[in-house]
């Protein structure tokens, strides 16, 4: 491969994405704040570095998959960062879900070092990342998007492009996560209604997943909620609250009322207040059931963990 790739952030999503790049034939330099998370990739041939700036080669490409806006700013903005090391001709592919406004600020910062910024958030959970079944959104300067397309093709099943605005792909990502969160709430309410009236929620999930709502979100999350399969988390509940809040912030900045998003924020915030921040974001279903006077087994298990702390 002609390009030298660096990769920062090896969490639930970053590690399988980086592994697929190795499988595609790219040579990787990888960094993660918790170094032990890089061990699997090192065994597959990645070079593990001790500083985030060291993943970059002049004029090369670096991918980041980080939890939030603060985390990405920490590795991009300080003096001596990988952005400065990339320099003219370099490209930063940000896979993180962050605010569109943050993406635009980062693009301006990168431009001062003649580095291109391409926003490439993805849809899909860790198992989809491992199987290269991610859907990729991309925005940024057209020549940079063209150069990184082979890389994006190596990590997903398709890329949708949204123009030159570096914040556009993140707008789309927030729209998508809002829709998923809305589906989780709707599934939770419908399954609770069924259960409270003596109907097995697994049977309801099977019906709708095979008929009216035969799509990945309703099938995957429907099964997860009906089976109360909330741990280990594929996507932590705390990160779900972050994304809903980012959607509301973006809506406020563009004068778009989103009353349903406000409801979702409160539902997620209540779940975090109950100590569920590290459970899967589908665990908000526990709160829906509790509001109806039910006591799910998964809620009892979580209470036990809380009392043991």
What are the tens digits of pLDDT across the range 44-87? Answer: 999 999 999 999 999 999 999 999 999 999 999 999 999 999 99
Q: What is the mean pLDDT of the chain?
A: 95
Q: Is residue 173 annotated as part of the catalytic site, yes or no?
A: yes
pLDDT value for 299: 79
Rounded CA separation 110/97 (Å): 18
| Tens digit of each residue's pLDDT (9 = 90 or more) over 148-193 | 999 999 999 999 999 999 999 999 999 999 999 999 999 999 999 9
pLDDT value for 1: 42
Mean pLDDT, to the nearest integer, of 238-247?
98
| Tens digit of each residue's pLDDT (9 = 90 or more) over 246-292 | 999 999 999 999 999 999 999 999 999 999 999 999 999 999 999 99
Write out the two tokens for 70.
């603060």
CA angle 276, 281, 283 (to 5 degrees): 55
Report which DSSP code applies to 34.
Answer: S
Mean pLDDT, to the nearest integer, of 205-231?
97
Rounded CA separation 98/102 (Å): 7
pLDDT value for 181: 98
Cα dihedral across residues 154, 158, 164, 165: positive or negative = negative
Q: Please pick, among 173, 202, 210, 274, the residue that the annotation labels catalytic.
A: 173
Mean pLDDT, to the nearest integer, of 216-234?
97
pLDDT value for 307: 54
For the entire predicted model, the pTM comes to 0.94
Q: Domains, the chain, ranges and CATH?
A: 5-164 (3.40.50.720), 170-308 (1.10.1040.10)
pLDDT value for 92: 98
H-state helical runs in 88-167 = 100-112, 126-130, 142-155
* Higher local confidence (pLDDT), 30 or 298: 30
pLDDT value for 4: 73
């Amino acid at each position: 491969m002609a390009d030298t790739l660096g990769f920062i952030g090896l969490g639930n999503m970053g590690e399988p994405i980086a592994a697929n790049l190795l499988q595609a034939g790219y040579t990787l330099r990888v960094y993660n704040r918790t170094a032990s998370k890089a061990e699997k990739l090192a065994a597959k041939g990645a070079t593990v570095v001790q500083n985030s700036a060291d993943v970059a080669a002049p004029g090369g490409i670096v991918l980041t998959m980080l939890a939030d806006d603060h985390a990405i700013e920490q590795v991009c903005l300080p003096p001596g960062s990988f952005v400065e090391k990339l320099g003219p001709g370099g490209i930063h592919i940000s896979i993180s879900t962050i605010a569109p406004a943050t993406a635009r600020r980062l693009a301006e910062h990168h431009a001062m070092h003649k580095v291109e910024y391409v926003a490439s958030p993805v849809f899909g959970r860790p198992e989809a990342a491992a199987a290269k079944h991610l859907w990729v959104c991309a925005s940024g300067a057209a020549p940079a998007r063209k150069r990184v397309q082979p890389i994006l093709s190596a990590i997903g099943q398709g890329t949708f492009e949204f123009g030159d605005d570096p914040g556009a792909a993140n707008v789309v990502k927030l729209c998508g996560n809002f829709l998923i969160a809305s589906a989780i709430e709707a599934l939770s309410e419908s399954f609770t209604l069924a259960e409270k009236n003596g109907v097995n929620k697994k049977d309801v999930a099977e019906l709708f997943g095979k008929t009216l709502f035969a799509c990945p979100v309703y099938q995957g999350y429907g099964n997860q909620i009906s089976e109360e399969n909330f741990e280990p988390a594929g996507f932590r509940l705390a990160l779900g609250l972050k994304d809903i809040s980012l959607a509301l912030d973006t809506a406020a900045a563009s004068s778009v009322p989103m009353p349903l998003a406000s409801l979702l924020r409160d539902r997620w915030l209540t779940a975090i207040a109950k100590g569920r921040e590290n459970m899967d974001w589908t665990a908000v279903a526990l709160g829906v059931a509790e509001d109806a006077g039910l006591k799910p087994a998964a809620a009892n298990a979580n209470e036990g963990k809380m009392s043991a702390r």
